[in-house]
Amino acid sequence: MAQPVQSGTEAHGGNHDSGVFPPFDNATFANQLVWLALVFGALYLLMARVALPRVEGILANRHKILNDDIAAAQAFKLETDHSISAYAKALAEAKTHAQQIAAETSDAIKIESDTKRRAVDAELTARLSKAEHDILDKRRQAMEHVADIAATATSDIVVHLTGTAPAAGDVNAAVAQVLKA
């Protein structure tokens, strides 16, 4: 003979024909409440004794690392600020020193230039004085011979034009008269 088909609840050995959702069944509610308290207590102890201390340790470690990094950054910032101020001071000192050297060099070059200019001026003045003296001497010498040259040239011209030589005293007197005028 064929056995009747069992419903899903009968197959598991429970007869729950009341139609109530099992967690809300009054017959099993106290039992479920005890298990809820036991599981909640076990999870609370597990969390309180194991998981939360680990999380707290991790957070404390992260907080310490963060504070250490902030302190290191502040130390680096102070060191950088100190280096920048030292650099600015050194740069200002170098600039002042460079300006001082430039002024000293400029003064030395000016003094040297003035000294050389004075020496060149003195040399040029001496050369100019000597050249003027030489020119006057040459002019004087030339003027001494002008009368002789003019007399000789005049005598040669008269000989060439007339064929007879004039008297030397007449030629010299005529040249002297022309040179005075």
Other C-beta atoms lying within 10 Å of the C-beta of residue 171: 19
DSSP one-letter code for 163: S
**Under 8 Å between Cβ of 139 and 172:** no
Backbone angles phi and psi of 34, in degrees to 5: -65, -45
Task: Give the E-state strand segments of the chain in sequence order.
Answer: none
CA distance linking residue 120 with residue 113, whole number of Å: 10
Predicted local distance difference test score (pLDDT) of residue 3: 56
Q: Which of 2, 3, 25 is nearest to 14 (CA)?
A: 25
pLDDT above 50 (res 179): yes
pLDDT tens readout for residues 1-50? 555 555 444 445 555 556 788 777 888 888 888 999 999 999 999 999 99
Predicted local distance difference test score (pLDDT) of residue 11: 47
- From first CA to last CA, the distance across the chain in angstroms is 185
Q: How far is CA 102 from the centre of its chain?
A: 19
pLDDT above 80 (res 165): yes
- Neighbour-count burial of 175, counting CB atoms closer than 10 A to its CB (0-12 exposed, 13-18 middle, 19+ buried): buried
**Which CB contacts under 8 angstroms, 24+ apart, belong to 163-167?**
none
pTM confidence score: 0.40
